[in-house]
Chains A and B, each alone.
Chain A
Amino acid sequence: MEIFFQQLINGLTIGSIYALVALGYTMVYGVMKLINFAHGDLVALSAYIGLVVMMQLTGASVPNYIVIPIVFIITAIVIAIIGVILERIAYRPLRSAPRLSAVVSALGAGMVIQNGIMLIWGPRPKIYPADVVPNIYWNIGGVSLGLMQLIILVLSLVLMVVLYLFVNKTKIGTAIRASAIDQLAAKLMGINVNKIIVLIFIIGSSLGSVGGLFIGMYYKGIYFNMGWIYGLNAFVAAIIGGIGNIPGAMLGGMLLGLFNAFIAGYVSSTWADAFTYILLIIILIFRPTGILGERVAEKV
């Protein structure tokens, strides 16, 4: 039973990271119907930029509880700017092109970011400092919960609730939802869809950057091509939940994190990815548009 609860906590931690990254995929997909394959590499880039900012700040004698929030904010701003540039250069010229061209452009953009990281920081893994977040662990009946895990869980939850309220309760949120349903109709109602898309890239990229920093701080080791693995897992999470659906991405992320943790805990970690995709395929066979996806008869 202890293993069960331990894996539950681990799974929820990884799940919240997946969910944060998956939100970036799902929001872009919702409005632009584009799989932003570069998103995973943006997440990897944020882990590197966060590390640089952290190294600059910890040199000065500033306490960690001030450094960490600043690192998060600076990284989020930088990544948001890169996300907007990406949209401007690689995706906007392809709005009216065949859909697969935009997919290849996204793959190209991901390649540029990934190899850019390699050129700047080198191909070898980088290690996050171990003491940015104090190594505090609570032991509750044989199950350990780390401070870092608690921060990840709480902060992710807060961000997701804020995003949910923003999209569902504010005027701009309504504009985002309208653009997701029908871009042309939204334009006719006076919504500036271009601005909405830029906004989506800002939100998605900054949420992804939080995810990237969490990956760095939680796993400690980061490497230049990690964007593929985390990005694909988050994308699968978005698909499981029903892509384009914001609560779906959160649910999908959590489910996938829990599933991964239990497979690693009870079966084998070398088969984890295979089980992830078997789960995905089974879900898609029974619910072709994901768990919370809309049920529509739509042509390919």
Chain B
Amino acid sequence: MNDKKTLVGFLVFVAFLLIFPFIANSRWLAVGTTFIIYSIVALSQDIVLGRAGMFDMGHALFFGLGAYSTAILNTVFNVPVLWTIPVAIVLPLIVGILLAAPIIHLRGDYLLVTTIGFNIVFEQVLKNNLFGITGGPNGIFGIGAPEIFSFQFFSQQSIYFLSFFVLMLTFFIIRNLETSKIGRALHYLNEDSLAAECVGINTRFYRLYSFGLGAALAGLAGVLFAVQYAAVSPEAFSFIQSVLFFTIVIVGGPSSIPGILLGTFVMFVLPEIFRQFATARYFVFGIAMILTMILRPRGIWPAKFGRIPKYMVKD
């Protein structure tokens, strides 16, 4: 019953995304594309924050690492965008695991501030133009379009559909994760890490696994970002951006796909809609954040599962 509802909701959502580019004008098409890209990043953040329960407030670092990999390889070394994608996935993956390994045992809030730290160090590296390849505070311009069999993803619409394809891929990965042994291990880890360790779950391995997977997905989203704007700059991957992704997950509802999508909509698309009230926008927004948390402390659309896994409950 519940599964059927979920399926119908999913199909309606996908159908809407598919017809959206044909009804939207160019500005809203750009908003839609960015919505999809941010949704992917937020979903990847959710793997770390919502599912594994690690307080990660530096996720824009991996998003930026992917985008900058593509930008640097494409503009400096003239590598076609398509060939930069593996690098933009593997590099954040490696960096994510290397950064997380020494700090993964830290208590929640200490982990949070450490990940903030990584993000700020990354931001300063970009701004100070380390090795002279990051373009400094202005970033990098003129990133090419990806090309498959001489079809160029040049128009806004084709980039939208490319992003849409990656979003579907993300859904597939997360769906697989949810139903797999790893997903269950992460769930127990999140509920009670001590108990999880006692029943033989290798907490360190699963934490690193989720960190690596989250970083890799965010890196892939970074490629889309670089392609969509044909430019990257440090502001797009700043620590404030990480706070946004963090907030999306908590406001939307941790470890719930509809929640994350709704969260992205609320935190990113709504401010776009109310652009005419530009100055007071974030003031009202802060109040809305407090209200949402007071009224729905578990997020707008939280994941619904009890403490006992479904297959163990007799109906």
Contact = CB atoms under 8 A, between A and B. Distances in A.
Interface of A: 29, 35, 89-90, 93-94, 97-105, 107-116, 118-119, 228, 232, 235-236, 239, 243, 270-271, 273-274, 276-278, 280-281, 284-285, 288-290, 298-300
Contacts of B49: 100
Contacts of A277: 116-118, 120-121
Given A111-B283, A288-B106, 19 more contacts: A89-B290, A100-B254, A107-B243, A107-B286, A108-B286, A108-B287, A108-B289, A111-B282, A112-B290, A114-B282, A236-B117, A239-B110, A273-B120, A277-B116, A277-B118, A277-B120, A280-B113, A281-B117, A285-B103
Nearest to A104: B250
Given A235-B113, A277-B117, A288 B293 contact: no
Contact of A110 (B108, B114, B124, B286): B286
Most chain A beta-carbon neighbours within 10 Å: one of B112, B128, B280, B293? B293
Contacts of B105: 288
Contacts of B53: 300
B297 A101 contact: yes
A115 B290 contact: no
Given A93-B294, A105-B289, A118-B279, A35 B112 contact: yes
Interface in B208-237: none
Given A102-B293, A104-B289, A108-B288, A284 B110 contact: yes
Contacts of B103: 281, 284-285
Contact of A109 (B111, B114, B194, B286): B286
The 8 residue pairs across chains A and B that have the minimum distance between CB atoms: A108-B289, A277-B117, A111-B286, A97-B297, A112-B286, A115-B283, A274-B124, A105-B293
Provide the main secondary structure of the chain A interface.
Answer: helix
A284 B120 contact: no
27 contacts: A35-B112, A99-B108, A100-B254, A101-B298, A102-B293, A104-B246, A104-B250, A105-B290, A108-B293, A109-B290, A110-B286, A111-B282, A111-B289, A112-B286, A113-B286, A115-B286, A228-B240, A236-B113, A270-B127, A273-B121, A280-B114, A284-B103, A284-B106, A284-B114, A288-B106, A300-B107, A300-B193
A298 B49 CA distance: 19
B254 to A, nearest CB: 8
A299 B194 contact: yes
Most chain A beta-carbon neighbours within 10 Å: one of B128, B240, B289? B289
Contacts of A285: 102-103
B251 interface: yes
B55 interface: yes
Given A235-B113, A284-B103, A289-B107, A271 B293 contact: no
A90 B114 CA distance: 25
B147 interface: no
Interface string B272-301: 000000011011011111100110011100
B44 to A, nearest CB: 17
A290 B113 CA distance: 12
